[in-house]
Structure 1
Amino acid sequence: MEIEIATIGGYEEVGRQMTAVRAGDDIVIFDMGLNLSKVLIHDNLQTESMHSLDLIDMGAIPDDRIMSELSGEVKAIVPTHGHLDHIGAIPKLAHRYDAPIVGAPFTIALVEDQIQDENKFTVNNDLVTMEAGETMSIGDHTELEFVNVTHSIIDAINPVLHTPEGAIVYGLDKRIDHTPVIGDPIDMDRFREIGRDGVLCYIEDCTNANKKGRTPSEAVAREQLQDVMHSLEDFDGGIVATTFSSHIARVSSIVEFARDIGREPVLLGRSMEQYSGTAERMGAISMPDVDMYGHRQSVDRAFERIMNEGKENFLPVVTGHQGEPRAMLTRMGRGETSYDLEQGDKVIFSARVIPEPTNVGQRYQSETLLGMQGARIYDDVHVSGHLSQEGHYEMLDALQPENVIPAHQDMKGFSGYVDLAASQGYKVGRDLHVTTNGNVIQLVE
């Protein structure tokens, strides 16, 4: 069976992930993501009303025109998890393919929200949910399997396409976490079984490939957060926390520790309400009596209530950990809300800066504005959702793939993974395929 892999997006940057695998006449697309930095650099850009070709030209979504070079039929579009760099282009591109969108339940719920917000295109693809551990047939000779992984969002999976030539393992995004705060541990036993059966190709997320050691468990971040927040139990000023809205485990920990120190948590921001509200409706978490506000007027009224009743009684959990211009924390730093930041107030960043110039600059500006108002910054109370070098070593050891394709980085970001793979016997140009966007790699002729 002929096997081809089209590396469409996410092979020159962190973002806009999209990869297509052709096995015979059947094609499966993994991820359709957005490059957020290309959007955030523009002021007040409304992508919902934009044409896909304009977004392709500005580098915001994958250029899927290379799909015309693959001779087959797309049978499924498979997002690995609900982060926008993996699902954000679905409303712009999915309608081009007569194929269902297949994902884990939380991911599909977020995809549905994305489609409903779309103003330019009508997306009528069937939405199909599949749990980790389940499989479905793709054509007559291939099978799709979801393997449970741990990441900084719930319901993350690594899809595996089983073909007569061996398995194609799409390894974006994960960390090896045996003690997650929410959900099951990563299923390393299943990865080892797949490795013993034979892996033709492993496509791997290289976000932290240049970092030595092992990425800690979310349980470690929870302990760090508990230590910081409990140390502020006797503080009688304002405390504000920010984290990834999609990081349900982290948000739930902040909510819990806010109550431990006698403060009422309030979730503020559109994405904060969207992710946590969806997770609660689906039963993934339970946060009874936690107020969530997403619309601007509702958020402004919540800030007024906090100031009227005493900010020492509340702990707002807000968007803006990357310094996004329209996010709640950035507005607070600019003095555009009624929340009065004063000398000594605490701002907890339970997130690291995504290492991309736009984010780094925006985060610097946000922290500077907060500091000018007297806020004290608690930075990087966080662990990454991505593998570091020892995790990459463990995955290669478990899967023993015939071919490896680094993804989710630029050439500089690939370097650590290339060195690691080379130390394990892989060779660039032979079985280690360092590629860019818009290429097709033929693994089996």
Structure 2
Amino acid sequence: MEIEIATIGGYEEVGRQMTAVRAGDDVVVFDMGLNLSKVLIHDNLRVEGMHSLDLIDMGAIPDDRVMSELDGTVKAIVPTHGHLDHIGAISKLAHRYDAPIVATPFTLALVEEEIDDENKFHVQNDLVEMEAGETMSIGERCELEFVNVTHSIIDAINPVLHTPEGAVVYGLDKRMDHTPVIGDPIDMKRFREIGREGEGVLCYIEDCTNANRKGRTPSEAVAREQLHDVMRSLEDYDGGIVATTFSSHIARVSSLVEFADEIGREPVLLGRSMEQYSGTADRIGAVDLPDDLGMYGHRKSVDRAFERIMSEGKENFLPVVTGHQGEPRAMLTRMGRGETTYELDEGDKVVFSAGVIPEPTNEGQRYQSETLLRMQGARIYDDVHVSGHLRQEGHYEMLDALQPQHVIPAHQDMKGFSGYVDLASSQGYELGRDLHVTQNGNTIQIV
């Protein structure tokens, strides 16, 4: 059976992920993502109303025209998890393919919301829910399996396409977390089984976000303890405390809500995406948030929440807000610019429970946001966080577990691939033979 892999998006940047695997006449598409940095540099740009071709020209979503070169039929579109760089282009591209969107429950709920918000295209693809550990048939000779992994969002999986020539493992995005705050640990037992059963692993496509960083990525339990320590240290402060984190990081948001109550403050979630992710997770039962937890996304309701906080005393509240990357329209950025009724005073605390995404736009916006906050007297607690991506020791462990015949680095640019190339080379892989460094829009004939 011919096996061909199209590297469509996410092979020249961190963002707009999309990969297609053709096994004989059957094609499976993994991820359809958005490159947020290409959107954020434009003021007041609303993606929902834009045409896919304009977004492709901007470099914001994958250019999927290479799909016409694959001699097969798309049988499934499989987003690995609910981050926008993996699902943000589904509402723009999925309607081109007569195939179901197959995902875990939380991811599928987020995809459905993206589709509902879309103003330009009418996406009518079937939505199929599949849990980690389950399988489905792809054509007559292949099988799709979901393997549970841990990441900075719940319900993440690594999909595996089992073919007669061996398994193709799509390894985006994960860290090796054996003590997650929410959900099950990464299923390393299953990865080791896949590496040693049948024809083994034909090809492994790997997330290289942290491949240049030595050591091991800590567990979310470590971040939770760091955050707990910071919050307890602020217990006696009688001024304003504001926290920000990834809206999609349900485990981290849940910890902030818990610790706010512990130090006698009322948590309030503020911002459109904060309300969307936490509200969706609570609605489908993926997390158990307090019934009286305030979640406000609409601008007017957010402003009313800020007015209440200032009226009743900001020492009684912990606003958990959007804006950890300094996004121009996010709540924390508006606070730094003095565009809300929340008044930052000298000595007030701002806790960034998030790292900066390693991309120039984010780095610049985050620097500007922190500078504005400091100008108002805020004290910054920076990087109370652990990454959702493997470092080098995790990559060694995955290669040992899977023992793939071929490896394709992904989720980075050429500079970001360098650490993984060195790492894989030390394990006997050779560039141009079984280690394939590629770019967007290319196809690789594996078999």
Structure 1 residues 316-395: aligned runs within 5 Å: 316-395=319-398
Q: Supply the distance in 2 between the matched residues of 1:200 and 1:338 (Cα, whole angstroms).
A: 57
Deviation at 1:276, TM superposition (A): 0.3
The residue number in structure 2 matching 1:312 is: 315
CA distance in 1, matches of 2:20, 2:422: 26
Equivalent in the alignment of 2:121: 121
Gaps of 5+ in 1: none
Q: Which runs of 5+ in 2 are unaligned?
A: none
Q: Alpha-carbon deviation of 1:286? A: 1.1
The 1-side partners of 2:241 and 2:156 are apart by 31
Q: Please name the residue that 1:237 is paired with.
A: 239
Query: What amino acid is the match of 1:377?
Result: I
In structure 2, C-alpha distance between the alignment counterparts of 1:360 and 1:419, rounded to whole Å: 26
* Residue 201 (1) aligns with residue 195 (2): no
Which of 412, 427, 431 is residue 430 of structure 2 equivalent to?
Answer: 427
Q: Which residue of 2 aligns with 1:92?
A: 92
Residue identity in the other structure for 1:77: I
**1:248: which partner in 2?**
250
Displacement of 1:16 in angstroms is 0.1
Q: Distance in 2 between matches of 1:394 and 1:219?
A: 20
C-alpha distance in structure 1 between counterparts of 2:218 and 2:305, whole Å: 35
> What is the aligned counterpart of 1:210 among 202, 209, 212?
212
Query: What letter matches 1:421 in structure 2?
Result: A
In the TM superposition, what whole-angstrom CA distance separates every residue of 1:368-396 from its partner, at most 9, and x where no partner exists?
00000000000000000000000000000
Q: Where does residue 27 of structure 2 map in the other structure?
A: 27
The CA deviation string for residues 381-424 of structure 1, in whole angstroms up to 9 with x for no partner, is 00000000000000000000000000000000000000000000
- Cα deviation, 1:13-46, whole Å, max 9, x if unaligned, reads 0000000000000000000000000000111101
1:283-311 deviations in Å (ceiling 9; x for gaps): 11111111000000000000000000000
What aligned pairs does 1:109-258 form with structure 2 within 5 A after superposition? 109-197=109-197, 198-258=200-260
CA distance in structure 1 between the partners assigned to 2:41 and 2:165 by the alignment: 43
Find the residue that maps to 1:229 and give its secondary structure. Answer: helix
Give, as a single letter, the amino acid of the residue that structure 1 aligns with 2:3: I
2:202 maps to a residue whose letter is L
Q: CA deviation at 1:208?
A: 0.2
- Counterpart secondary structure, 1:186: coil
Partner of 1:47: 47
**Aligned counterparts of 1:8 and 1:147: Cα–Cα separation in 2:** 23
After superposition, give the CA deviation of every residue in 1:79-131 in whole Å (9 maximum; x if it has no partner). 00000000000000000000000000000000000000000000000000000
Partner of residue 2, structure 2:
2
The structure 2 residue matched to 1:268, chosen from 270, 278, 301, is 270
Cα deviation digits, residues 167-221 of structure 1 (max 9, x gap):
0000000000000000000000000000002000000000000000000000000
1:440 equivalent in structure 2: 443
- CA deviation map 1:418-438 (0-9, x unaligned): 000000000000000000000
Once the 2 structures are TM-superposed, how far is the Cα of residue 364 of structure 1 from its aligned partner?
A: 0.4
Distance 1:150 1:236 in 2: 37
List structure 1 segments (4+ residues) > 2 angstroms apart after TM superposition: none
The amino acid across from 2:439 in the alignment is: T
Give the Cα separation in 1 of the matches to 2:262 and 2:232: 8
**Aligned residue type for 1:389:** Q
Match of 2:78 in 1: 78
CA distance in 1, matches of 2:256, 2:316: 15
Q: Does 1:280 align with 2:282?
A: yes
Letter in 2 for 1:223: E
2-side partners of 1:88 and 1:414: how far apart? 24
State the Cα deviation string for residues 53-95 of structure 1 (Å, max 9, x = none).
Answer: 0000010000000000000000000000000000000000000
* 1:330 alignment partner, SS class: helix
1:37 aligns with 2:37: yes
Number of equivalenced pairs = 444
For residues 262 and 285 of structure 1, what CA distance do their matches in structure 2 show?
22
Q: Partners in 1 of 2:209 and 2:218 — Cα distance?
A: 15
State TM-score, norm by structure 2: 0.99
Q: Residues of 2 paired with 1:316 and 1:290: CA distance?
A: 11
* Letter in structure 2 aligned against 1:416: G
Aligned-partner SS, 1:384 = coil
CA RMSD of aligned residues (A): 0.3
Residue aligned with 1:223, SS = helix
Query: What CA distance in whole angstroms lies between the structure 1 residues aligned with 2:175 and 2:207?
Result: 10
Structure 1 residue identity aligned to 2:317:
F
